[in-house]
Amino acid sequence: MKGIAFATAKIEIHSTGKLHGNIEPPNLVIEEGGIFDGTCKMAKREEVVPK
Protein backbone atom coordinates (compact mmCIF):
# COMPACT_ATOMS: atom_id res chain seq x y z
CA MET A 1 0.00 0.00 0.00
CA LYS A 2 1.13 3.56 -0.70
CA GLY A 3 -0.42 6.70 0.75
CA ILE A 4 -2.06 7.80 3.99
CA ALA A 5 -3.95 5.31 6.18
CA PHE A 6 -6.23 6.07 9.13
CA ALA A 7 -7.63 3.40 11.47
CA THR A 8 -10.09 3.35 14.35
CA ALA A 9 -8.91 0.03 15.82
CA LYS A 10 -5.47 -1.01 14.50
CA ILE A 11 -3.23 -1.43 11.49
CA GLU A 12 -1.56 -4.81 10.94
CA ILE A 13 1.32 -5.41 8.56
CA HIS A 14 1.79 -9.13 8.01
CA SER A 15 5.10 -10.87 7.29
CA THR A 16 4.80 -10.34 3.52
CA GLY A 17 3.10 -6.94 3.75
CA LYS A 18 4.55 -3.58 2.69
CA LEU A 19 3.25 -0.16 3.67
CA HIS A 20 4.83 3.01 2.29
CA GLY A 21 3.27 6.19 3.62
CA ASN A 22 1.91 7.86 6.72
CA ILE A 23 -0.41 6.19 9.21
CA GLU A 24 -2.50 7.29 12.20
CA PRO A 25 -3.63 4.20 14.12
CA PRO A 26 -4.39 3.77 17.82
CA ASN A 27 -2.59 0.37 17.63
CA LEU A 28 0.07 -0.95 15.25
CA VAL A 29 1.22 -4.55 14.69
CA ILE A 30 4.10 -5.43 12.38
CA GLU A 31 4.95 -9.10 11.99
CA GLU A 32 8.58 -10.09 11.48
CA GLY A 33 9.37 -9.56 7.80
CA GLY A 34 6.74 -6.86 7.32
CA ILE A 35 7.91 -3.55 5.88
CA PHE A 36 6.82 -0.09 7.04
CA ASP A 37 8.42 2.97 5.43
CA GLY A 38 6.86 6.23 6.59
CA THR A 39 5.68 8.06 9.66
CA CYS A 40 3.34 6.91 12.39
CA LYS A 41 1.31 9.15 14.70
CA MET A 42 -0.24 7.10 17.49
CA ALA A 43 -3.57 8.39 18.76
CA LYS A 44 -6.23 7.31 21.18
CA ARG A 45 -9.11 5.53 19.44
CA GLU A 46 -11.54 8.44 19.98
CA GLU A 47 -9.01 10.91 18.49
CA VAL A 48 -8.71 9.10 15.15
CA VAL A 49 -10.83 10.97 12.64
CA PRO A 50 -9.90 11.06 8.93
CA LYS A 51 -8.98 14.59 7.77
In SS3 terms, the chain reads as: CEEEEECCCCEEECCCCEEEEEEECCCEEECCCCEEEEEECCCCHHHCCCC
Any domain includes 40: yes
Number of domains composing the chain: 1
Any domain includes 50: no
The pLDDT tens digits of the residues spanning 1-51 come to 788 888 889 999 999 999 999 999 999 999 999 999 999 998 776 655 555
Q: Which domain holds residue 12?
A: 2-45
pTM to 2 decimals? 0.76
Any domain includes 51: no
Any domain includes 14: yes
Any domain includes 35: yes
Any domain includes 7: yes
